[in-house]
Structure 1
């Protein structure tokens, strides 16, 4: 979106879209994103390593389910997996990602030390993924939102806003439209290189939550 001023989303949030979305990952983030997509009118394919869990989650959403490795049906593919799984998925699906909007939600944190990001200082998880998938349209989103705030649409008493970064304007707008159709605010914040700042921002928020300085149902939010 070009501008997110007061009332910019009035009359738009909740308008349903007809699009196909694949979510890979059945954890809290994957389930929350899939719920937003289905609420917005998308046809959702939910893939997981545990087929029974994927089927259970999908049934509650009215989505279809399958196993990781199944053919991707979505024009938008959300990778709701740990950072270390991105390279495996890039190799597994390869050219199936070509032309698709591929959404990276990961935070490349060193969970052994909890003291650093594991990507080069001049790059990001999304940037590294784009290098592996040169013909995909990689977008960064959802990584600064705890799952509960996506599911409820609230961060404390402030509406949740999903921050979206990408080099392809149409891909970024497609994701913003999907999120807002599902009843959650979203803001396009610039090119994919902004993913570095988003990941650092998320790292700070996660460390604060781990120290119980902020709650996992709270965090940072935009107040207009």
Structure 2
């Protein structure tokens, strides 16, 4: 089961929907457990009852999920994750967080820790943190008619965590997880999101990233 921390926003709901469609059991977390349960009910109506889609408070996720996926806005990372550090322990934690600004066009913002994923690792010091789904459009995730044909760039410092993240990403129809190296590359992966958004806006397309020759 994948527990999505902050899963009631557009990205979290979209990922919950796509993962559930792929047959992955999902637990949608929120600061307000009732919001998590409402989001889970919404996803269940879309995918049916063949897969378990549940809602809960963020604090309940570490004890119930096998892996965690963080979709909290960067500004809310510290307040959301710091209280969970002991419960999370050495779990695999996938970060889909990007610190972006849209003033004057999309651009990546600097992060003191190096990247949003490294900030997640700082707040959850025992966790095995990876990047996942950073460049995948939340709008496309929630659009049942959108057909993906792109890669999910995965980096991390724990080989097993990277392997399992690649496997999770590759479960989603049309997505392929690609191992890219250590977690220090996370900022580059996160920053590419601004490029993808700009390309889509400039050309009126629904482009994503694809690593060729692999």
Report the equivalent of 1:218. Answer: 207
Structure 1 residues 200 and 115: alpha-carbon distance in aligned structure 2, compared to 1, 3 A threshold: closer
From the two aligned structures, give the one with the greater helix fraction: 2
Residue 82 of structure 1 aligns with which residue? 73
State the distance in 1 between where 2:92 and 2:98 align. 19
For the residues of structure 1 that align with 2:209 and 2:164, how far apart are their CA atoms?
24
Partner of 1:29: 11
1:197 is matched with 188
Q: Secondary structure at the match of 1:118?
A: coil
Whether 2:167 is the aligned partner of 1:177: answer yes
Say if 1:77 and 1:103, in contact at 8 Å, map to a contact too.
Answer: yes
Please list every run of 5 or more consecutive structure 1 residues that lacks an aligned counterpart in the other structure.
1-19
Aligned Cα root-mean-square deviation (Å): 2.5
| Equivalent residue in structure 1 for 2:179, among 175, 183, 188 | 188
Distance 1:206 1:53 in 2: 28
Deviation at 1:87, TM superposition (A): 1.2
Residue 133 of structure 1 corresponds to which residue in structure 2? 124
Number of residue pairs aligned between Structure 1 and Structure 2: 199
Which residue in the other structure is 1:166 paired with?
156
3-state SS of 1:30 partner: helix
User: Offset at 1:84?
Assistant: 1.2
* Distance (Å, rounded) in 2 between the aligned partners of 1:84 and 1:98: 22
TM-score with structure 2 length normalisation? 0.80
Larger relative contact order, structure 1 or 2 (CA cutoff 8 Å, min sep 6): 1
Task: Give 1:33 shift.
Answer: 1.6
Contact 1:149 1:160 in 2 (8 A): no
Note the residue ranges of structure 2 that are not aligned, 5 or more in a row: 45-51
Cα distance in 2, alignment partners of residues 89 and 180 from structure 1 = 27
Change (3 A) 1:111 1:93: farther
- Give the secondary-structure state (helix, strand or coil) at the position aligned to 1:164: strand
State the shift of 1:127 in Å.
Answer: 1.4
